[in-house]
Structure 1
Amino acid sequence: MSNQTFQILKELPTPLYRSQGVLHKHEFLICGGRDEKACYSYHTLKNEYKFICEYPSHVKLDGHCVVKLVDNNKDSDQITLLSFGGECKHTLVMKYVSVWSNTLDISKKSNKINNYNQWIPFTNNHNHPIIIGRDNDNYLGVRAVIGGSNNHLLFIICYPRNISIFDLNAFQFIKHDTLPANFIRGHCFVSKSENEQGQEMMKKNKQNYEMLLFCRKTGLSIEYDENNNNFQFHQLPVCKDIAPFNGYAYVYINDVILFFGGCNWICSVISTSVHKYSIREKKWITFKNVLPIPLCDCFVTLNNDNNYIYIIGGYNDGDVISTNMKMRLSELICHIQVSFLL
């Protein structure tokens, strides 16, 4: 595939890897990275960045996780982010109002909004700070998804093979278990409820949730029964081309997970490949030399219309990358399909 497939966008304000990001309408909220506390909003239509805030001075970022909390009663212009984990654990929340609109300025003048667009401690109903993670939990490279009947459960997977559930309403863990897997870090972890097909499944059985995990040679379907508070694990195939790698970026759309780049355990080999996994068919397709440069620990996301894939930052042969690039999803899928037929 030609490098001309990728459109190079405005460079990041600072080089980033092991970054975390959340899509909000036409914005990507870029929430720090390894040893980088600054947070930015990238506007996909304007191709511009705006500074949001920095993490508190006492927070050291490396391998943290950021998720968007679900609140059906909240105004669509406002979202809440949860940031936790990393090598040095922290747990913070941010109430975000777009830095591209006048909403924040108006609200500040009327004193209706407090503590917006800044990271503040995650507290319980008695205003006591809560840190997610036990003392012996290794949260470097931790990943999490939101689920549960009220979107109140935080499913967490961390090194070496731990899976836990934190109840965001009760402010406590309700489950710890061990994965039937080798060492897990820099993994892909998605919930099947994140797409339309998954939502239909959830409507049929609101107390059962399915998640997918991939890391190196490990592939797992993880089923959680909320009524009985237990897990079931089922092995999934992993193709030989992606089996040596972790540290890849990934996106999940419809029935497909796309994996971008990645590296071996000691980061001596970094991939330029894109891998496609079909959940329904349980089949893999590999397209080699897709990425313009070898990349790991980058951040990949779809835009609001699900027609472009953005690849942000990353690590390449000793260098932290400040590149932001995009390509059409349809073009990527077409190239992979043609390659498979050939």
Structure 2
Amino acid sequence: MANQTTTQEPPQHLITSTPFQGLKDLPIPLYDFQCVTHKHEILICGGYEQSKCYSYHTLKNQYKFICEYPSDITLDGYCVVKLTDNNNKDKNQITLLSFGGSDYQKRYTLVMKYVSVWGNDNNNIDDNEMNKSKDYNQWIPFTDNHNQPIIIGRNGYGFHGARAVIGGSNDHLLFITYYPYDISVFNLNTFQFIKHDFLPDIHHIRAYHHCFVLVSENEQETMKKNYGMLLFSRTKGLLILYDEDDDTFQFRKASVCADISQFSYYAYVLINDIILFFGGLNNNNGDLSKSVYKYSIQEDEWTTFQDILPSTLHNGVAILSEDESDIHIIGGQHDLHNAVSTHMKTKVRIWDNSQLLKNEVKLIIKYWIRTLKIKLGWIDDFDQIIFKYSRNI
């Protein structure tokens, strides 16, 4: 287990043995790409100047080709999100939305209705029955209710390095943060932008290859009708609250530790009450990081696990398995020039004590007893130990 101590800035620096397990390499080296999960699959959608899409099966540790992006599209900074259709009763099908481009590159907004390429592995789906349809497992134009193509974009702006999340009362709102310091809300039911605003206090930092996540449902319950998001971009952290009824934003500052304040291009993942950041690129001197950083949303505190990654990393992806037991760190760059095909995973419970199992708590306590050579009998410290590691079980 990676021992950890949360502190206010400056954070605690922790060094631990490598908790990562190597997996089968990607079919091709990738960086600056997008991933989503679907049951036991991780869908890998393109990459910088790479059009091929793959499915990685988390149980088989294997990849399968899905499709390619259209040949007239350049993938140089783009977003992919998984849409929610509350009317869709087919749990074997999901819909992906992909958009990107700028004034200088062709703008595009595409959707893919995906059914597993692993055939009978998922609930006895006929291996190619649905895939043979022209509407499945390929990128097609995003259209409105009248079959007219819709492009998500704004003149004068591009989505290179942008980030997007889905929220709203019916999961119908697409929130996009993008260069230089903008946030927009796109209504997926009306196919229109309904809000544009500026992100405060980051004008000299820029929203670019940053962290942007939707606050968990438990946190949203305390915000009533507000929908919460967190953004980190180098030295700035923002809690962003959106009121759907009033169509208004509120912005509050979140702390940023010195260790990560000059970095971007990190892989990041939200897990319950924490955000984990893996690696990153120092925008001032080009240095690359091997560290893992943890931000506690509830406590507004940071922890640094120093030099923990097997190698330096930036421009990769971190994604949580659908059963929330593993974090996959995929692709990226180990230097400033070359993409890698590396794929590894780490257990969530290593980084989040709330995921510890009761048996693990017992083993930890037994280990402490042996290590400290505590005599038989109960001491007050036991109460604190058990409370600390079992309150979230």
> 1:187 is aligned with what amino acid?
H
* Deviation readout 1:156-179 (Å, 9 max, x if unpaired): 100010000111111111110001
User: Is structure 2 residue 42 aligned with structure 1 residue 22?
Assistant: no
Residue 85 of structure 2 corresponds to which residue in structure 1? 71
- Deviating more after overlay: 305-314 vs 17-26: 305-314
User: Is structure 2 residue 333 aligned with structure 1 residue 319?
Assistant: no
Q: Is the contact made by 1:26 and 1:43 (CA closer than 8 Å) also made in structure 2?
A: yes
Q: Distance in 2 between matches of 1:64 and 1:266?
A: 24
Post-superposition offset of 1:267: 7.1
SS at match of 2:219: helix
Post-superposition offset of 1:61: 0.3
Post-superposition offset of 1:305: 2.1
The structure with the largest alpha-carbon Rg is: 2
Residue 382 of structure 2 corresponds to which residue in structure 1? none
Q: Distance in 2 between matches of 1:14 and 1:105?
A: 25
Q: Distance in 2 between matches of 1:51 and 1:292?
A: 28
> 2:207 is aligned with what amino acid?
I
The residue correspondences of 1:92-171 to structure 2 (distance < 5 A) are: 92-102=110-120, 103=125, 105=127, 107-108=129-130, 113-171=133-191
Distance 1:127 1:104, change over 3 A: farther
Residue 209 of structure 1 corresponds to which residue in structure 2? 227
Residue 189 of structure 1 corresponds to which residue in structure 2? 212
Residue 218 of structure 1 corresponds to which residue in structure 2? 236
Q: Distance in 2 between matches of 1:329 and 1:42?
A: 19
Q: Distance in 2 between matches of 1:155 and 1:183?
A: 17
Residue 66 of structure 2 corresponds to which residue in structure 1? 52
Unaligned ranges ≥5, structure 2: 1-14, 354-393
- Deviating more after overlay: 303-312 vs 61-70: 303-312
* Deviation readout 1:90-116 (Å, 9 max, x if unpaired): 21000000111243545349x7x4410
Q: Is the contact made by 2:162 and 2:207 (CA closer than 8 Å) also made in structure 1?
A: no
TM-score between the two structures when normalised by the length of structure 2: 0.80
Distance 1:104 1:66, change over 3 A: farther
- Among candidates 45, 58, 62, match of residue 31 of structure 1: 45
SS at match of 1:319: coil
Residue 55 of structure 2 corresponds to which residue in structure 1? 41
> 1:85 is aligned with what amino acid?
G
User: Of Structure 1 and Structure 2, which has the larger fraction of its residues in strand?
Assistant: 1
Q: Is the contact made by 2:40 and 2:58 (CA closer than 8 Å) also made in structure 1?
A: yes
SS at match of 1:62: coil
- Among candidates 304, 312, 325, match of residue 294 of structure 1: 312
- Among candidates 18, 25, 33, match of residue 11 of structure 1: 25
> 2:175 is aligned with what amino acid?
F
Distance 1:104 1:140, change over 3 A: farther
- Among candidates 255, 266, 274, match of residue 292 of structure 2: 274
* Deviation readout 1:255-308 (Å, 9 max, x if unpaired): 101111111226711111111000010000111101111100101112122121
Residue 339 of structure 1 corresponds to which residue in structure 2? none
TM-score between the two structures when normalised by the length of structure 1: 0.91
Post-superposition offset of 1:332: 3.9
- Deviating more after overlay: 323-332 vs 163-172: 323-332
User: Is structure 2 residue 101 aligned with structure 1 residue 83?
Assistant: no
SS at match of 1:330: helix
Q: Is the contact made by 1:270 and 1:296 (CA closer than 8 Å) also made in structure 2?
A: yes
Q: Distance in 1 between matches of 2:285 and 2:24?
A: 27
Residue 279 of structure 2 corresponds to which residue in structure 1? 261
* Deviation readout 1:41-80 (Å, 9 max, x if unpaired): 0000000000000000001001111000011222110000
> 2:129 is aligned with what amino acid?
S
Q: Is the contact made by 2:130 and 2:136 (CA closer than 8 Å) also made in structure 1?
A: no
Q: Quote the sequence identity (%).
A: 57
SS at match of 2:260: coil
Q: Distance in 2 between matches of 1:140 and 1:314?
A: 16
Unaligned ranges ≥5, structure 1: 335-342
Q: CA RMSD in A?
A: 1.9
SS at match of 2:242: strand
Q: Distance in 2 between matches of 1:105 and 1:129?
A: 31
> 2:315 is aligned with what amino acid?
D
Q: Distance in 1 between matches of 2:126 and 2:93?
A: 10
Residue 331 of structure 1 corresponds to which residue in structure 2? 350
Q: Is the contact made by 1:260 and 1:272 (CA closer than 8 Å) also made in structure 2?
A: yes
Would you say how many aligned residue pairs link Structure 1 and Structure 2? 328
Q: Is the contact made by 1:65 and 1:86 (CA closer than 8 Å) also made in structure 2?
A: no
Residue 372 of structure 2 corresponds to which residue in structure 1? none
- Deviating more after overlay: 84-93 vs 269-278: 84-93
Q: Is the contact made by 1:261 and 1:291 (CA closer than 8 Å) also made in structure 2?
A: yes
